[in-house]
Amino acid sequence: MSDAIVLTGRAVRLSRRNLDAVLTAMLLPVLLMFVFVYFFGGAIDTGTRTGYVTYVVPGVMLLCAGFGSASTAVTVTNDMAGGIIDRFRSLDVSGTALVAGHVAASVLRNAVATTIVFGVAFLIGFRPDAGPLDWLAVAGILLAFILAISWLSACFGLIARTPEAAGGFTFLMMFLPYPSSAFVPIDTMPDWLHGFAGHQPVTPVIAALRALLLDQPVGDSAWQALSWCGGILAVAVALSGVLFRRRTA
């Protein structure tokens, strides 16, 4: 446990010194938000009175969180490919502590990035109707999502041999929100996509965020979102332990 705390401090320091990666993780969702709101927004009728900005922001938040968390794969691969892993192992640091350090740093990075993206959204007209409790719930769901995706991407980092390969996970996370209700309502998509789009993990997360921010009935979406995240996290934690042992055997 104390190893994980020390390694979190390390991972945070390393992120601070690799600011361009952190900035990209922030800039890209902001740019995409501009694209959606100003280029596509006029053409998309989401059937809500609050305007497309408010409809799309939860999707952008998710994109931001997914994209930012996926960089964990790269930081983990860098460690595994370098000499430092031998030193850590000879200090009897466990794979879980190492991954936990990277994941914790990812959560902190993403907390900052998410706050900034919310700020920009406000500047361009995002006006949610959420009360303080709703905001707390939004933060909780985003946190769970970031945690789950970060740990999952750490698993990819343990599989990938090069940072470039690990970067492929970022790509996957950039696409997952599109076949969901993140940017356009699902019923505007072709029939064959409904099954996937309606049941993939991003969809309840989006639905819950949107309902909380617009002060609408949340229904089951919040619990579904949390179950998905909890399930992914549990699998990723177990998987990362196995992968680390296999990688270092």
Residues binding another protein: number (CB under 8 A)? 23
* Closer to another protein by Cβ: residue 188 or 248: 248
Residue 20 CA to residue 26 CA, distance in Å, equals 10
* Closer to another protein by Cβ: residue 14 or 112: 14
Find the part of the chain contacting another protein (CB under 8 A) among 37-45, 66-74, 89-97, 136-144. 89-97
Residue type, position 61, single letter: M
Residue 91 as a binder of another protein (CB under 8 A): the answer is yes
Sign, CA dihedral 77-163-235-24, equals: positive
* Closer to another protein by Cβ: residue 133 or 249: 249
Residue 92 as a binder of another protein (CB under 8 A): the answer is yes
Find the part of the chain contacting another protein (CB under 8 A) among 62-70, 90-98, 156-164, 183-191. 90-98
3-class SS of residue 51: coil
Nearest to 183 by CA among 157, 202, 211: 202
C-alpha 202: how far from its chain's center?
A: 10
Find the part of the chain contacting another protein (CB under 8 A) among 36-44, 87-95, 191-199, 224-232. 87-95
Residue 89 as a binder of another protein (CB under 8 A): the answer is yes
Q: Which of 2, 19, 123, 132 binds another protein (CB under 8 A)?
A: 2
Residue 245 as a binder of another protein (CB under 8 A): the answer is no
**What is the number of alpha carbons within 13 Å of residue 158 lying toward its C-beta?**
26
Write out the DSSP string of 76-104: HHHHHHSTHHHHHHHTT--HHHHHHHHHH
Q: Which of 27, 44, 81, 93 binds another protein (CB under 8 A)?
A: 93
**Under a CB-based contact definition with an 8 Å cutoff, are residues 140 and 229 in contact?**
no
Residue 248 as a binder of another protein (CB under 8 A): the answer is yes
Residue 44 CA to residue 54 CA, distance in Å, equals 13
Tokens of 204: 């309840």
Residue 90 as a binder of another protein (CB under 8 A): the answer is yes
3-class SS of residue 213: helix
Residue 18 as a binder of another protein (CB under 8 A): the answer is yes
- Least distance in angstroms from the C-beta of 248 to another protein: 7
Nearest to 110 by CA among 11, 5, 234: 11
Residues within window 37-66 making contact with another protein, judged by CB under 8 A: none
Residue 9 as a binder of another protein (CB under 8 A): the answer is yes
3-state helix, strand, coil in the chain (%, to 5): 80, 0, 20
Residue 1 as a binder of another protein (CB under 8 A): the answer is no
- Least distance in angstroms from the C-beta of 223 to another protein: 39
The residue ranges that bind another protein (CB under 8 A) are: 2-3, 6-7, 9-10, 13-14, 17-18, 82-84, 86-93, 248-249
